[in-house]
Amino acid sequence: MSKPNFAPLKLFITGPTYIRDDVKEAALLPEFGHRDAENELRFGPIREHLHTLAGAGDKYESVLFLGSGSTAMEGSIRSLVAEDETLLNVSVGAFGDQYYNIAIANGKKTENLKFDYGQAIDLDVLERKLVDLKPDVVSFTHNETSTGVTNDMKAVCALIRRHGAMPLVDGVSIFGGADLDLANSGAAMYVTATQKSLALPAGFGIGFVSREAEEKAGKVTNKGFSSDIIRQLERARKNQTLTTPNCTLANQMYVQLDRIVNEEGIQNRFDRHIEMRTMVEKWVAGLDGFEMFAPKGFRSPTMSTVVCPEGVTLTQLKVGVKEALRAKGYLMDPGYVKLNLAMEKAGRRQVFRIGHMGDIMPDMLSEYLVQLENELKKI
């Protein structure tokens, strides 16, 4: 078996993403005991900064699950969908199905309302389903990573609430790259992860739990152990994790969140993501035969999806363009395979992705777009 090629690559995929050198170096900070006073000095500021980044006000508590985004999603399902209740999942792409799959794997009574790839949630269609099904809980994706579509979180949550259900939101690929205003979002629980717009290694699923969710979880039975948000909250309130955390990641997270909040500034960070989305839109407008995939008004600030001209194949993207860019030091994203296979089957054009999340800077993106354009012109 050949060995990994450890040559440095700049990741323009949609997570995990590029990590700054100072954040990599923070992995060398001393390990610590997770029930020792040193733990508080890391996780206290980490939780405070997460709160600020989310705009969580006084309605939410953050919990760090050991695992990834899916671990936090599972926690929300196990803790907030009671045995006799119905969950409606709303999916606008491949990642939108994740909540559905988790709910089914946990034996929950669940339906999946699916929208076509590239579309945002249609509120009229959702409303009809809410009237028909009368679900107790509704889950949906804030930012669909396979299509680059950002749903209007507040509008979707408001509609769900008008029908008496509790909204759970998967914000894995947007948190840290956009202003959520979580306090006014209407989400009962919002989940995310470290390896996307926070530009950290993977390792923690992050859950923002509202008081209302906590109250409900108190009445739900069979919540599991790590997936029990009540058990998690008890530790989180002491700025601790339920079980032994990855201390290396905690050190990196401490350094990274301090830098984001106190050096870069969160508004600057959010503005930088919008600037990069605009850069991609302008670049695409200048490319013959290419178009943005996500509809205007629903385009993600953390990643973009681009439709190729007729005749471009997945192999050309995956082998030709991606491997040529790897040789130049970039990891290109040729698109979500399941989506591209479905697009091909439906006679639709192929779509590739550009991750511009986390600590990707406009000058890095502009350099990458030049290289990407050179390779696209060869196919």
Stretch that binds ligand PLP, among 64-72, 78-86, 131-139, 341-349 (CB under 6 A): 64-72
> Rounded to whole angstroms, how far apart are CA atoms 302 and 13?
11
Shortest spacing between CB 65 and ligand PLP, in angstroms: 10
Shortest spacing between CB 173 and ligand PLP, in angstroms: 4
Binders in 180-209 for ligand PLP, by CB under 6 A: 193
Q: Residues 17, 39, 62, 68: which binds ligand PLP (CB under 6 A)?
A: 68
Shortest spacing between CB 274 and ligand PLP, in angstroms: 19
Binders in 84-143 for ligand PLP, by CB under 6 A: 95, 98, 141
Of the candidates 145, 26, 136, the one whose C-alpha atom is nearest the C-alpha of residue 95 is 145
Q: Residues 11, 12, 13, 15: which binds ligand PLP (CB under 6 A)?
A: 15
Q: Which residues contact 5 (CB under 8 A, 6 or more apart)?
A: none
Our finding on whether 70 is near ligand PLP (CB under 6 A) is: yes
Angle at 339 between CA 100 and CA 207, to 5 degrees: 40
Looking at beta carbons only, is 79 or 302 nearer to ligand PLP?
302
Binders in 284-303 for ligand PLP, by CB under 6 A: none
What tokens were used for 369?
């777009």
Looking at beta carbons only, is 204 or 283 nearer to ligand PLP?
204
CB atoms within 10 A of CB 133: 16
Our finding on whether 148 is near ligand PLP (CB under 6 A) is: no
Looking at beta carbons only, is 140 or 270 nearer to ligand PLP?
140
Looking at beta carbons only, is 13 or 306 nearer to ligand PLP?
13
Residues that bind ligand PLP in the complex, under the rule CB under 6 A = 15, 68-70, 95, 98, 141, 145, 170, 172-173, 193
